[in-house]
A and B are shown apart, each in its own frame.
Chain A
């Protein structure tokens, strides 16, 4: 992002915070507006009622140029950002994700606000030491693994929005994030977005993000972006990328390693082992539903499987898939779902 001008104008800004509570604020908006299609991006300093201030980036959809599809895309983004905030705020990974400040998706010109980055983007860093490159590689794979554990793929990891302060990698806003297992919607540009993601074929997979990780590592190592649709020809000569990481450049997602497998190969600890699932107040109700179904089925239920084929956890609640990689698919079984689907079944 270009240097913002802080000689902007002030406006009141009403939005919802990550706790779902409405926030009335005063925002000093930067005058440097970056426009991409129907989107406007500008720096802002937001002051809330208690006087505290935060440097932010404000992304707004133009009413004139935006359409219903883009509104829906913004809502998907906010849903992903809220999921990330719920899952990782207050944990050691909080700084690894661009911090959502708030959103207003019902405004005439809907918007989302994130905290401004306080570290340089990877694209601006030249000649990282091998040790640093290794640290970035491990951090990126661990973050992809964490997102997989809560059921989403970021689908927007690139060197221009991912930052590194020498200790922490921070992923950019999850503007294209989606649930693992959903049909892929076309998104992103080469070489950062995987071929299957750009084409919008198949279903969202954490390995979409691993392609992006591989391309970032290639850029850090060579200073070049490399070809968009295939592995660079000189991978063999790249010591850092010729080992387990070389499989990140496979053109097809299913040929790339799973996140857990890759972490093992890299001898990096699996963050899922350190991640403690937050208490979910809905679990009691889910248990009550299971009991009701079991009762309806005359005690033949025998409990229920939680995962869908492909590994998407069934709820917004983080349920780390472990230890399988990719998470083992539970086959659809008769007796799950409705008490009875058909009048004469069961």
Chain B
């Protein structure tokens, strides 16, 4: 959520609580510290005037979430609420689309320092959240393991929190970025989910080639994966798009459409033209346009029209060819994964949401 509420002349940054999905703002009257016994104890910093000590205390402080949804008492790390405007990114796609793998590969690339080349600095919003995501998802993926769906906060399986990062762009733009998996096909329109969807800044729609494309070279992988055939549409896409708020007939959220698992068709044109490009071409307007156009044409040619709905509904959209592992499941992945182009959708979302400029020179990406 990027809206800034002005409160008595000061700016309050509204962030999505990953536990209860409520919007929450930094509130100095609701601070807590963790005692040596691991208990939360109220923290009063109103009399702390030394800025260094104050910042240090706040770095380790927590804030109690208002919890209007009745999830139960929970606390949020203060840096998560104070770093900058929130940027909520939700992955959308069917259960086999590979969205957890893609999200994990993206955060893994960030964790591995791949954003350095674009002048973006990062740190975890909460070391505990990040460690859990690292242990449960990133490290197993790097080893080539197949991931289970994971929600470090024990979500309800519909909106699953993955990780949160504090990012600072090349010109000092700051965002608290939170990643969620959306199991669209099971989406229940309760008030929490509705509030959450209103606040989503970016949606990454993950296209599974096995269910989208009628290409002969996918028949064998389809058989191996137990996928009976292609679908006329991804029900998760429609489920989310039907519920997302629109303005002037188009989605206000930034949209990236990602054709995942391109390792299953690496030499199919124009996948072959993009899969071996280096990261960061999305920051070049001409290259970005060319890939958008190619992916759109590929979907137009090989998938049913409904797969293009996210593009048609969006006001701001980019399209990408991506491989999360670099190779189909098999002996190769035992040596680790070789993700390709996984940063592109993320960089695009960052560009659309103001964390970086579209200009490659400004972003330092060449």
Interface residues of A, Cβ cutoff 8 Å to B: 16, 20-22, 68, 71-72, 75-76, 78-79, 82-83, 86, 105-108, 110, 151, 179, 182-183, 281-286, 288-290, 292, 296, 304-309, 314-317, 330, 332-334, 336-343
Given contacts A315-B294, A332-B285, contact A21 B216 (CB under 8 A): yes
B296 touches A288 (CB 8 A): yes
User: Given the interface contacts A71-B338, A79-B267, does A339 sit within 8 Å of B314 by beta carbon?
Assistant: yes
Q: Are B293 and A304 in contact (CB under 8 A)?
A: yes
**Which 5 A-B pairs give the minimum distances between C-beta atoms?**
A285-B297, A285-B300, A314-B290, A316-B269, A337-B289
Q: Is the interface of B mostly helix, strand, loop or mixed?
A: helix
A-B contact count (CB 8 A): 158
Q: Which residues of A contact B286 (CB under 8 A)?
A: 305, 307-309, 314, 330, 332, 336-337
B285 near A315 with CB under 8 A, answer: no
The residue on A at minimum CB distance from B329 is A106
Please, how many angstroms separate the alpha-carbon atoms of A284 and B305 in the complex? 13
Minimum distance in angstroms from B280 CB to a CB of chain A = 10
Q: Which one of B154-162, B226-234, B271-279 is at the A interface?
A: B271-279
B335 to A332, Cβ gap below 8 A? no
Asked if B293 contacts A290 (CB within 8 A), the reply is: yes
State whether A286 and B316 are in contact (beta carbons under 8 Å apart), knowing that A106-B328, A106-B330, A179-B273 are contacts in the complex: no
The answer on a CB contact under 8 Å between B296 and A183 is no
A-B contacts, 30 of them at CB < 8 A, read A20-B216, A20-B217, A20-B268, A75-B266, A79-B266, A82-B267, A83-B272, A106-B327, A107-B331, A179-B277, A282-B297, A282-B298, A284-B301, A285-B298, A288-B300, A289-B296, A292-B296, A315-B294, A316-B269, A332-B286, A336-B289, A337-B285, A337-B358, A338-B289, A338-B292, A338-B318, A340-B316, A341-B358, A342-B358, A343-B353
Q: Assess A338 versus B294: contact at CB under 8 Å? Given A68-B335, A68-B336, A183-B278.
A: no
What's the minimum C-beta distance from A265 to chain B, rounded to whole angstroms? 31
Are A286 and B284 closer than 8 Å at their CB atoms?
A: no
Within 287-342 of B, Cβ neighbours of A (below 8 Å) are at: 287-290, 292-294, 296-301, 311-312, 314-318, 326-328, 330-332, 335-336, 338
- Shortest Cβ distance from B60 into chain A, in angstroms? 34
Do B273 and A292 touch (CB < 8 A)?
A: no
Known contacts A68-B338, A86-B269, A341-B352; A333/B285 CB under 8 A:
yes
- CA–CA, A340 and B255, complex, Å: 11
Instruction: Report whether over half of chain A's contact residues are helix, strand or loop; otherwise say mixed.
Output: loop
Contacts of A340 in B (CB 8 A): 315-316
Does B220 sit within 8 A of A, measured CB to CB? yes
- Contacting residue for B316 out of A21, A290, A316, A343, CB 8 A: A343
Q: How far, in Å, is A176 (CB) from chain B's closest CB?
A: 13
Does chain A have a CB within 8 A of B270? yes
Most buried by B among A151, A284, A308: A308
Nearest-neighbour CB distance to chain B for A263, whole angstroms, equals 26
Residue numbers in B under 8 Å from A306 (CB-CB): 290
A108 and B270 within 8 A (CB)? no
Residues of B within 8 Å of A68, CB to CB, are 326, 335-336, 338
Contact (Cβ within 8 A) A338 B267: no
Total count of chain B residues near the partner, CB < 8 A:
53
CA distance A346 to B217 in the complex (A): 41
Judge if B69 is at the interface, Cβ distance under 8 Å.
Answer: no
- How far is B217's CA from A22's CA once the two chains are assembled, in angstroms? 8
Question: Are B285's CB and A336's CB within 8 A?
Answer: yes
CB-CB under 8 A from A182, the residues of chain B are: 277-278
Q: Which residues of A are found within 8 Å of B335, using beta-carbon distances?
A: 68
Residues of chain A within 8 A of B235, CB atoms compared? none
A97–B327 Cα gap in the complex (Å)? 28
Across the interface, which residues of A come within 8 angstroms of B366, CB to CB? 183
Residue of A nearest to B327 (CB): A106
Chain A nearest Cβ from B264, distance in angstroms: 10
Q: B220, B301, B336 — which one has the most chain A CB atoms within 10 A of its CB? A: B301
Return B1 CB to nearest CB of chain A, in Å: 13
B72 close to A (CB within 8 Å) = no
- How near does chain B come to A24, taking the closest CB pair, in angstroms? 12
B172: Cβ under 8 A from any A Cβ: no
B272 touches A342 (CB 8 A): no
Nearest neighbor of B340 in chain A, beta-carbon distance: A72
Q: Which of chain A's residues have a CB closer than 8 A to the CB of B290?
A: 306, 308, 314-315
A78, A106, A151, A179, most chain B CB atoms within 10 A: A106
Q: How far is the CA of A77 from the CA of B298 in the complex (A)?
A: 23
Whether A304 and B289, one on each chain, are in contact in the complex, defined by CB atoms closer than 8 angstroms, is yes
**CB of B354 within 8 A of chain A?**
yes
| CB-CB nearest in chain A for B266 | A75
CB pair A317–B269 under 8 Å, yes or no, is yes
List the B side residues contacting A71 at CB < 8 Å.
327, 332, 338
B285: chain A residues within 8 A (beta carbon) = 332-334, 336-337, 341
CB-based contact A285/B299 at 8 Å: yes
In the bound complex, residues from chain B placing their C-beta under 8 Å from that of A288 are: 296-297, 300
Q: Is B351 an interface residue (CB 8 A)?
A: yes
In this complex, what residue of B is CB-closest to A305? B286
A75 to B323, CA, bound (A): 13
Instruction: Point out the residue from B288, B298, B301, B314 that lies within 8 Å of A337, measured CB to CB.
Output: B288
Pick the contact of B294: A16, A76, A282, A334 (CB < 8 A): A282
| A315 adjacent to B288 (CB under 8 Å) | no
Query: In the bound complex, do residue A342 and residue B352 qualify as a contact, i.e. CB atoms below 8 Å apart?
Result: yes
Contacts of B331 in A (CB 8 A): 107-108
Contacts of B294 on A, CB cut-off 8 Å? 282, 286, 314-315
Q: Roughly how many angstroms separate A16 CA and B328 CA in the complex, as a whole number?
A: 15
Name B88-107 residues within 8 Å CB distance of A: none
Having A179-B277, A332-B286, A338-B352, one finds 11 other A-B pairs with CB under 8 Å, namely A72-B326, A82-B267, A105-B327, A106-B328, A285-B300, A286-B296, A308-B286, A316-B273, A338-B288, A338-B292, A343-B353
Nearest residue (CB) in B for A82 is B267
Contact partner of B301 among A79, A86, A281, A317, CB < 8 A?
A281
Q: How far is the CB of A180 from chain B (nearest CB, A)?
A: 12
Residues on the B chain within 8 Å of A76, using CB? 276
When the two chains form their complex, are residues B288 and A343 in contact, meaning their CB atoms are under 8 A apart? no
Most buried by A among B276, B293, B299, B301: B293
B217's closest neighbor in chain A, by CB? Answer: A20
**Could you tell me the distance between the alpha carbons of A290 and B288 in the complex, rounded to whole angstroms?**
14
